Amino acid sequence: MATRTQARNRTGVIGAIRVDLATLHGAWMEVIFPRQRGRGHSVMGKWKPETLPQAVSYYSWYLIGALGLLCLYPLAVVGLGTRFYASKLDSTVTRLGIVGITLVAVVIWGLLSALAYLQLEWEPFVAIAAASSVAVVSTAIAATTSKYGGRWLSVLIAYPFAMTAIFLPPVAAALVTPSLEPYVLEPSYDFAAWLLNNVLYVGGISDYFRDNFELEGAAYAGMWFGFAVTSGWLFGILVSLANLVRPSPDDGDDEN
């Protein structure tokens, strides 16, 4: 029984992917050629090339669209997953309200700052308090722009600040809790080294960071803040791509 259910689920997923790809590729073909979606016109049918120049241009455009879908559709699937979990966070914000979710952030980060004040010297405490303030403000901005800002403001602001509110807490906690350092700070150092060696080496960017910055203390929070902003933009773009493939029920409201 379970096997049949799993088989039906797989068939449903594959069928949905086929529908998406056919719809998107048909829309791509109709940018230049008429009657390409589905079976085309109910009477005239789907347009097909009749001459050699038409065939060359038609199948060249067809191939470009197929290659584009091969690259972009997996990203759209990631965007669909991101949109699903973002909707869960939105529902939490809706239940608690902007003030409620901000107060929760104030309590959590206030306790962490108090712990830092009791255990650390003044300068590390100031760094943790600054990170706490950034996280609280990020939470409030993300909640506000997600609720009232519309789609594009959400991409530009809500997603980056939401990622900041997610990434900063474990880093700040590790800075005041030595037992967390092997699980947060050391992997962060390895991740930074990987980025410098494999991604940011272009144009001497990695040399600039190595010459001007040291990854220690509050620099970990700064690193993850920068990563949170860029990854937030990336996820926002992926969600926008997913909305093109499968518009969400709220899309009509976002346009208002």
pLDDT-derived band at 38, boundaries 50, 70, 90: low
What's the mean per-residue pLDDT of the chain? 79
CA dist 11 and 220 (Å) reads 46
Contact (CB, 8 A) for 218 and 127: yes
Taking 60 as the threshold, does the pLDDT of residue 40 lie above it?
A: no
CA dist 134 and 225 (Å) reads 9
- At 45, is the secondary structure helix, strand, or coil? strand
Residue-level pLDDT at 250: 58
CA dist 151 and 146 (Å) reads 8
Q: pTM here? A: 0.65
Taking 80 as the threshold, does the pLDDT of residue 230 lie above it?
A: yes
Residue-level pLDDT at 63: 92
Per residue in 118-140, pLDDT tens? 877 777 777 778 778 888 888 88
